[in-house]
Structure 1
Amino acid sequence: MAWNTNLRVRLPVTCLILQVAMVVLFGVFVRYDIQADARWWLEKKRKNISSDIENDFYYRYPSTLFLWIYWPSFNSASSFHGDAQHRAALNTYLSLAASVLTTVAVSSIIHKKGKLDMVHIQNATLAGGVGVGSAAEMMLTPYGALIVGFFCGIFSTLGFAYLSPFLESRLRIQDTCGIHNLHGIPGIIGSIVGAVTAAYSSPDVYGEPG
């Protein structure tokens, strides 16, 4: 089924993508507000723990693997059957692969001893799937999907390394599951990518409507 390139269709679709992104981001930051409880900071110091995320590594390994493998099914489930679903799955895998490579590279670069931080590996490696979600079925081209995953992996890893500790130490806001770094930041990137690809769609790329 060809993509409808009529402006009367493309403009509402672009606005819908942005609205969905805003709803998701709203939910993320509302969750932040709920978790911003001053008492957890004192409890953390008393027990000498940094975060619950460090205590369940071995439970998270299989989950990360399954999510990485099946993430293309999330992004392609709502696409039209045929080429759109194939593009969604392919773009998602390419973006995920790029986010894995950049996560591993950035994690080792910012570590003092060049080691990998498993919090980064278990979370930021999935950022590419989040970032490409809104435009997965679009004509991103392989290099476009790789670029999306590249930036999602970088910013997600840096978020875990620097933003989360800053929020905890300065603002006393605890991101218990890395929601902002895995879904918030890539969600912002994805909303931009989705809006741009929808706005620049043309009959030369998607064919005539109908």
Structure 2
Amino acid sequence: MSLLRFPLEELPFFILVMLVSFSVHEFAHAWTAYKFGDKTAYREGRVTLNPMAHLDWIGMIFLVLAGFGWAKPVPVDRRNFRSPRLMTMLVTAAGPVSNLLLAFLGLLIIAILNASGVSMSDAAAATLGTFFKYWLQINMVLFLFNLIPLPPLDGYRILEEFMPLRSRIQMMKYEQWSVYIFLLILFLPPLRRITIDPLFSLSGPILIGMNRFLALFFG
């Protein structure tokens, strides 16, 4: 997402949702690691929902202008885990899963508002509609995007833990080249259309599935 893809007057919604979504994502990594016995992120003040603890200003600027950005990575020392491979996978997966849960929370709030029959002005309805549009879109993008098995994304770190030691060593040798492949996929439209775009197309079916689940309770 970039300035070219949404009206400038909607920029505050975009920035607000990104700050919340990034903060929850990084907090999920840090909190899960802390619960598993690694206090590295805790000592650096990362077990918090305060966006200032997670914000990378350069990454945020790139996000707004180029549609690609980042937050501060959460430091994790896997040597502090009782089961390093399993717990590292869970800590890594906690970030994307938190964004999926945020998307579900957004749908839940929408369902509650619709079921309650609360009346609001056209302006208020339009404002809420815009906010939740970005809330759902951004959190689904963060969920799916981070599952891509290329560094520096979470999907790569999860895949790495599944690999035998010898394979992991080989993967580490090519990590620097994998980053370039990732950037090519991200910024070259022909490659995006056959890689990232089909992945993002899963967002719709996932949201529909969650909506159908909520319909069991809210009609």
Structure with greater contact order relative to length (CA < 8 Å, sep ≥ 6): 1
Using the size of structure 2 for normalisation, the TM-score is 0.28
